[in-house]
């Protein structure tokens, strides 16, 4: 492919990291192209991530630059409001927030790719510091790609450090507990469910790659 997913995954410097990859193979290129359109729709329908991911415990809502819930295509500058089990972030009014830094698509003769990259951010309605259990050095890159008959869903986390800079002690403790759980595997399990959900199509001729 002309474009490499590594171009959009920041280098790892410190803290935790995650690399989640799920793949399927279909019978022919035409079927793969048609299926990729459906996978792309699922990737960009952020508010439905919880619905397509069996067993995922978080819910997601796309929001505009002012923090108002919106529908449709995500764009750079939008936000994702995340509701995870347990006590929420006080800085985020009970939620964790990430800002979308990049939405990009590309294709060539051999395949196609679509990417969303996000970073922990303040609640856009409050702007009281980073409202997320990871600090703002962390990123998450969600991507799907098709290479011939093969389609992959990948989620890459980088530089995942706990957010302990909150002015509120309760948020400091909460963020430390949640980020620790995330880095020892909880987040990876959740992202694995999402990656599987993006590719979960019960159709003849689809092979799940291990």
Nearest to 197 by CA among 38, 19, 17, 8: 38
Contact (CB, 8 A) for 116 and 45: no
What burial letters (b/e) apply to 21-37, b meaning 16+ CB within 10 Å? ebbbebeeeebbbebbe
pLDDT digits (tens, 9 = 90+) for 52-79: 998 888 999 999 999 999 999 999 999 9
For residue 111, the 8-state DSSP code is E
Q: What is the dihedral of CA 184, 186, 188, 192, to 10 degrees?
A: 150
The per-residue pLDDT for 1 is 47
pLDDT digits (tens, 9 = 90+) for 19-50: 999 999 999 999 999 999 999 999 999 999 99
Mean pLDDT to the nearest integer, 93-111: 93
Q: What is the dihedral of CA 185, 160, 44, 102, to 10 degrees?
A: -160
pLDDT digits (tens, 9 = 90+) for 150-189: 999 999 999 999 999 877 788 889 888 888 887 766 778 8
For residue 6, the 8-state DSSP code is G
The mean pLDDT value of the chain amounts to 89
pLDDT digits (tens, 9 = 90+) for 103-128: 999 988 889 999 999 999 999 998 88
Give 2's pLDDT tier (boundaries 50, 70, 90). very low
The per-residue pLDDT for 26 is 93
Q: What is the pTM of this model?
A: 0.90
Nearest to 39 by CA among 20, 57, 55, 26: 26
* 150-160/16-25 β-pairing: antiparallel
Mean pLDDT to the nearest integer, 180-208: 80
- The token duo for 26 is 């279909």
Domains of the chain: 5-209 (3.30.530.20)
If DSSP codes are grouped into helix, strand and coil, which group holds residue 139? strand
Nearest to 67 by CA among 48, 89, 82, 52: 82
For residue 130, the 8-state DSSP code is B
* 150-160/139-147 β-pairing: antiparallel
Nearest to 163 by CA among 139, 129, 200: 129
Q: Cα 181 to the chain's mean position, in Å?
A: 18
pLDDT over threshold 80, residue 101 = yes
d(CA 81, CA 94): 10
């Amino acid at each position: 492919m002309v474009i490499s997913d590594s171009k959009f995954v920041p280098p790892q410097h410190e803290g935790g990291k995650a690399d989640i990859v799920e793949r399927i193979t279909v019978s022919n290129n035409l079927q793969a192209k048609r299926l990729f359109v459906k996978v792309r729709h699922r990737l960009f329908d952020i508010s439905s991530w919880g619905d397509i991911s069996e067993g995922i415990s978080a819910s997601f809502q796309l929001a505009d630059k002012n923090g108002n819930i919106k529908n449709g295509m995500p764009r750079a500058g939008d936000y994702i409001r995340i509701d995870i089990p347990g006590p929420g972030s006080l800085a985020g009014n009970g939620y964790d927030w990430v800002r979308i830094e990049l939405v990009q698509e590309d294709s060539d003769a051999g395949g196609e790719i679509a990417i969303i990259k996000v970073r922990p951010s303040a609640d856009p309605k409050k702007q009281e510091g980073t409202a997320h259990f990871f600090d703002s050095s962390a990123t998450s890159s969600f991507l799907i790609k098709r290479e011939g008959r093969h389609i992959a869903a990948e989620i890459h986390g980088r530089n995942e450090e706990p957010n302990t800079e909150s002015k509120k002690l309760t948020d400091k403790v909460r963020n430390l507990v949640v980020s620790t759980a995330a880095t020892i595997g909880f987040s990876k399990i959740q992202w694995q469910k999402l990656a599987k959900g993006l590719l979960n199509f019960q159709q003849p001729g689809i092979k799940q790659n291990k």
